[in-house]
Chain A
């Protein structure tokens, strides 16, 4: 198969299939629904691929957990409100150590919000949405071809880390059509790691803190710490293998833009004016890389489709103030970025107008 026109959502599905996914459960919600529909079409003529249109996102999330424990690479796709409903199950998958993939195609929230304008408001939800402490791996592609590639990496990371991995996209990328040649993309696919259910063991897969024999350890802080540190160390170690990021554009510029996902694409026309740092692995934060890059620039601006969710994280890592250009209410456009940068005095006002230099 050579070059073809492909949509972001479709690329996610094809990436999942390339990674060996054989189970999908989901509930329709724009702008993720094409993934569900494509999965149903695929299931219709591939009996080894199982599809469930579930009654809600809670069922979807729990079904992919069951499917994964049973031995299938499994995934679901949703958007903000559905992602919120999945959070308890995501916590369960973290606690139990279930490899599976949650795709969140972001739109403007909270609640039903602005269906289906693009947003990036689930950055913190993808890290902290469930209760308690846990360590998440989250990737966010910037193009259709990356939707494919990082869908595969999300499954690989899930297998290696034994945890639910989140693939963030947004309404923009999901519905973007780009010409890609999937055959030209080399990907490595990790095998299943967790022995499937009923392979002769008598394990207890539980969200409750228990000892190895299954007895509750619900009042034992030492046991909690032992298990917590073990899971955290495993995920951080595995995350090192998935340290995807990008540094470039005008690296001599005084100002560094930090932008991820679709926002990086929106900022592209400003490439000659600014340096860019883009994390693809949104979580865990690429702290070392971020510090190294930030040290080279006087100003740092985080451009993102939310009110400073990642900017706050960057400030914590760098221990210094960073400027913000929030793109809110679905207004994710070059004009909005330019206006924000001009307000900060980082882009000449004439550059903002139609005749501007950076136009």
Chain B
């Protein structure tokens, strides 16, 4: 065994541009899956439309490559019907936060035990680099020649509207933090969202002044810092994990226990260990 068994290497090279960050996410996901013994008999991948969504086709799993924006209802239903499976969603920022935003809002609220890896490249990669819901304000893109004027979606804030959810922030440069975030997200008994800053060199990075993918990675290295242990929320450019309180789940068909709404738990640093 080894993480390469998770990959359909016969299909390589992938369709992704040289220097794209998506492959780094696929590698770390494969490593974690190998560690955790996740295979085609116990795990299903659900991906959206976009460059990121292509990942399902490169991995040795049953993969549901859904419509644009529709990963979450598909994933939640799979988990509902087959609670014994691990259900892992991989999709882009546009897929999750724009066209799929309503599903994100409500899936957070319902708190199914699924894991979402969001490749947050801050752009619509596949369609050629239009501004997306997480594009930083002021960014010039092919659909915002004078710079975007809107406030980006606050993914952390959105996820943390649930007292039970798990939110992790990492970048593809911080491979240890990325792996830790993926592993803990998969282990989390409820909705877990991993917000992964990564580079779309081709349809964003070069246009905003990065000469190479490596320069983007170095930028992440400089900009991001681990959050101090115990923080209950992450500042922008902090890496870490913010966990809620796991939801007490009643067995199917039995009413959930009543009680006050639990408060959020403590944040920890996502960096370190590995």
Contact = CB atoms under 8 A, between A and B. Distances in A.
A71 B82 contact: yes
Nearest to A23: B81
A203 B65 CA distance: 10
B73 interface: yes
A143 to B, nearest CB: 32
Contact of B44 (A63, A88, A197, A216): A197
A213 B82 CA distance: 26
A213 B12 CA distance: 12
A59 B85 contact: no
Contacts of A102: none
Interface in B42-96: 42-44, 46, 56-67, 70, 72-78, 80-82, 85
A331 to B, nearest CB: 36
Interface string A193-221: 00011111111111110100111100000
Contact of B67 (A22, A63, A74, A88): A88
A231 interface: no
Contact of A89 (B41, B60, B70): B70
The bracket for how many chain B residues form the interface is: 35 or more
Interface stretch (B99-107, B142-150, B175-183): B99-107
A92 interface: yes
A152 interface: no
A197 B252 contact: no
Dominant SS among interface residues on chain A: mixed
B8 interface: yes
A92 B66 contact: yes
Interface in A86-102: 88-89, 92
Nearest to B57: A214
Contact of A63 (B10, B11, B63, B73): B73
A72 B57 CA distance: 24
A47 B250 CA distance: 12
Contacts of A215: 11, 57
A132 to B, nearest CB: 13
Contacts of B40: 198, 200-202
A214 B56 CA distance: 9
B141 to A, nearest CB: 25
Q: Which of B10, B64, B65, B82 has the most CB of A within 10 A?
A: B64
Contacts of A63: 73-74, 76-77
Contacts of A69: 64, 74, 78
Contacts of A56: 102
Interface in B145-184: none
Nearest to A72: B81
B15 interface: yes
Contact of A67 (B60, B62, B77): B77
A48 to B, nearest CB: 8
B253 interface: yes
Interface in A26-68: 43-47, 50, 52, 54-56, 58-60, 62-67
A125 B43 CA distance: 36
Contact of B11 (A88, A206, A213): A213
B79 to A, nearest CB: 8
A59 B65 contact: no
Contacts of B66: 62, 92, 207
A214 B58 CA distance: 8
Nearest to B67: A92
B68 to A, nearest CB: 9
A224 B63 CA distance: 21
Contacts of B63: 202-205
Contacts of A204: 56-57, 63, 65
Contacts of A89: 67, 70
20 contacts: A23-B81, A25-B77, A44-B253, A47-B252, A52-B77, A55-B102, A59-B73, A60-B73, A62-B74, A66-B74, A69-B74, A69-B78, A70-B78, A70-B81, A92-B66, A92-B67, A198-B43, A199-B62, A206-B65, A213-B8
Interface of A: 22-23, 25, 43-47, 50, 52, 54-56, 58-60, 62-67, 69-72, 74, 88-89, 92, 196-208, 210, 213-216
Given A198-B82, A206-B65, 15 more contacts: A55-B106, A59-B72, A62-B66, A62-B67, A62-B77, A63-B73, A67-B77, A70-B82, A89-B67, A200-B41, A201-B40, A202-B59, A203-B62, A205-B63, A205-B64
